[in-house]
């Protein structure tokens, strides 16, 4: 059975993904059969995970256990009450399986990008494959990020109950259909991450003007930029957007500004910032290809900072920029 036939059987990919995977796999198999075999095994793992999902009850289908009814309404009531400390143990099995499916797909696409990138110098065809697969990887990682963003909203004590209910309802929709991607349920978030993943911070005087302009050039949704630039935005929202622009936590930016004042600097480079903070600064590769894993790291770094400030009562944004935006969208949906 061909790769395409196997994929269609379990509906692993949408039509665009399927066409790309089939073409790239055939080309890879003719050059490096061993790499193609590794990827086929990853596809088999994806099929197995899909089979488990297919056997699991839809979350919107009512049932009961221990004499208690279980409906989508009782599930939403449960989800809006979680505190986050129980992690995946607080989630229904289908949610965990859905996330496992997405992580398996991401692992497959990362391996595929690595295999095709290694052959870029042998043929322009593989450069195209590498680029297109990286774009598909980005969309899958953005989808995972959106799930984690909704989960973060559920555990925030200062988010309104009605907003949490809408976030929980969206999560249930995504978990019930593992083939949904971010453009199906959060296109504005996709626009923001798609654009941010394509720009590099210059830092300079830390005003953020050049970074904002680059977001515009990368077709970031005007609604995203209007939200953060609009009248009435709080200082926390402004700080969170600044974190988003520079891929930094509020504390890191404060440290950079402090040292700039002490050293009389009016502008700094990414190299200087990296040396000051003692960690690499995520940036576009020399080929200008995106690194969606770097965006994932950035979000989690900023989310960890927001969680800490909320618990410690520390100065700075209590949510990520994406969370402020999503709350606005959910409250006005």
Concatenate the DSSP letters of all residues of 177-212 into one string: -TT--HHHH-HHHHHHHHHHTT-----BTS--HHHH
Residue 167 has pLDDT above 50, yes or no: yes
Comparing 3-17, 116-130, 161-175, the range with the smallest average pLDDT is 3-17
Q: What is the DSSP string of 224-283?
A: HHHHHHSTT--HHHHHHHHHHHHT--HHHHHHHHHHHHHHT-S-B-HHHHHHHHTSPPP-
Residue 9 has pLDDT above 90, yes or no: no
Comparing 84-93, 107-116, 212-221, the range with the smallest average pLDDT is 84-93
Predicted confidence at residue 288, as pLDDT, reads 63
Quick check: helix, strand or coil at residue 69? Answer: strand
Predicted confidence at residue 10, as pLDDT, reads 43
Taking residues 106-114, report their average pLDDT. 97
pLDDT in tens, 32-44: 999 999 999 999 9
Residue 200 Rama label (left phi>0; alpha psi -120 to 50; beta)? beta
C-alpha span between 258 and 261 (Å, rounded)? 5
Mean pLDDT of the chain: 91
Quick check: helix, strand or coil at residue 82? Answer: coil
- Residue 136 or 16, more confident: 136
The tokens of 303 are what? 């989310």
The answer to whether 164 and 80 have CB atoms below 8 angstroms apart is: yes
C-alpha span between 295 and 194 (Å, rounded)? 10
Confidence of residue 16 (pLDDT cuts 50, 70, 90): confident
Quick check: helix, strand or coil at residue 268? Answer: strand
Q: At what angle do helices 72-79 and 161-176 cross, to 10 degrees?
A: 120
By the 10 Å C-beta count (0-12 exposed, 13-18 middle, 19+ buried), 130 is classed as buried
By the 10 Å C-beta count (0-12 exposed, 13-18 middle, 19+ buried), 41 is classed as exposed
The answer to whether 278 and 272 have CB atoms below 8 angstroms apart is: no
C-alpha span between 105 and 109 (Å, rounded)? 6
C-alpha span between 313 and 153 (Å, rounded)? 18
Confidence of residue 87 (pLDDT cuts 50, 70, 90): confident
Predicted confidence at residue 83, as pLDDT, reads 82
Taking residues 262-283, report their average pLDDT. 91
Comparing 86-95, 97-106, 136-145, the range with the smallest average pLDDT is 86-95
The answer to whether 99 and 132 have CB atoms below 8 angstroms apart is: no
Say how many C-beta atoms besides its own lie within 10 A of residue 71's C-beta: 14
Predicted confidence at residue 86, as pLDDT, reads 81
Predicted confidence at residue 252, as pLDDT, reads 97
Predicted confidence at residue 14, as pLDDT, reads 85
pTM: 0.91
Q: What share of the chain has pLDDT > 70, as a percent?
A: 95
Predicted confidence at residue 286, as pLDDT, reads 43
List, in order, residues 6 or more apart from 322 with CB less than 8 Å away: 145, 149, 189, 192, 193, 244, 299
Confidence of residue 304 (pLDDT cuts 50, 70, 90): very high
Closest CA to 108 of 67, 59, 184, 49: 49
Give the CA angle between residues 80, 86, 90 to the nearest 5°: 55
Per-domain residue ranges of the chain: 1-61+69-181, 186-333
For residue 57, what is the DSSP state?
Answer: P
pLDDT in tens, 133-153: 999 999 999 999 999 999 999
List, in order, residues 6 or more apart from 232 with CB less than 8 Å away: none
Predicted confidence at residue 283, as pLDDT, reads 66
Query: For the chain, what is the radius of gyration of the CA atoms?
Result: 22
Confidence of residue 284 (pLDDT cuts 50, 70, 90): low
The answer to whether 134 and 113 have CB atoms below 8 angstroms apart is: yes
Quick check: helix, strand or coil at residue 218? Answer: coil
Taking residues 156-178, report their average pLDDT. 95
């Amino acid at each position: 059975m061909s790769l395409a036939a196997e994929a269609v059987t379990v509906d692993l990919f949408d039509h665009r993904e399927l066409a790309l995977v089939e073409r790239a796999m055939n080309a890879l198999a003719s050059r490096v059969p061993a790499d193609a075999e590794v990827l086929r095994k990853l596809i088999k793992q994806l099929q197995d995970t899909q089979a488990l999902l297919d056997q699991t009850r839809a979350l919107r289908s009512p049932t009961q256990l221990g004499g208690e009814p279980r409906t989508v309404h009782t599930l939403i009531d449960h989800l809006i009450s979680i505190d986050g400390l129980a992690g995946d143990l607080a989630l229904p099995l289908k949610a965990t399986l859905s996330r496992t499916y997405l992580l398996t797909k991401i692992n497959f696409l990362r391996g595929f990008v690595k295999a095709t990138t290694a052959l870029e110098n042998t043929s322009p065809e593989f450069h195209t494959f590498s680029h297109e697969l990286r774009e598909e990887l980005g969309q899958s990682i953005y989808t995972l990020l959106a799930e984690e963003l909704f989960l973060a909203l559920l555990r925030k004590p200062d988010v309104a109950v009605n907003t949490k209910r809408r976030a929980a309802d969206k999560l249930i929709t995504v978990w019930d259909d593992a083939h949904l991607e971010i453009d199906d349920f959060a296109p504005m978030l996709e626009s923001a991450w798609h654009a941010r993943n394509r720009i590099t911070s210059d830092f300079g005087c830390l005003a953020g003007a050049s970074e904002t302009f680059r977001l515009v050039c990368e077709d970031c949704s005007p609604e995203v930029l209007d939200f953060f630039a609009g009248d009435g935005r709080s200082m926390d929202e402004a700080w969170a957007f600044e974190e988003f622009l520079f891929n930094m936590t509020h504390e890191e930016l404060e440290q950079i500004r402090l040292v700039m004042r002490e050293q009389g600097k009016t502008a700094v480079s990414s190299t200087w910032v990296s040396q000051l903070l003692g960690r690499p600064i995520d940036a576009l590769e020399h080929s200008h290809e995106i690194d969606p894993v770097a965006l994932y790291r950035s979000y989690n770094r900023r989310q960890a900072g927001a969680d800490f400030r909320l618990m410690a009562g520390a100065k700075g944004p209590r949510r990520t920029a994406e969370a402020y935006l999503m709350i606005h969208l959910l409250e006005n949906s």
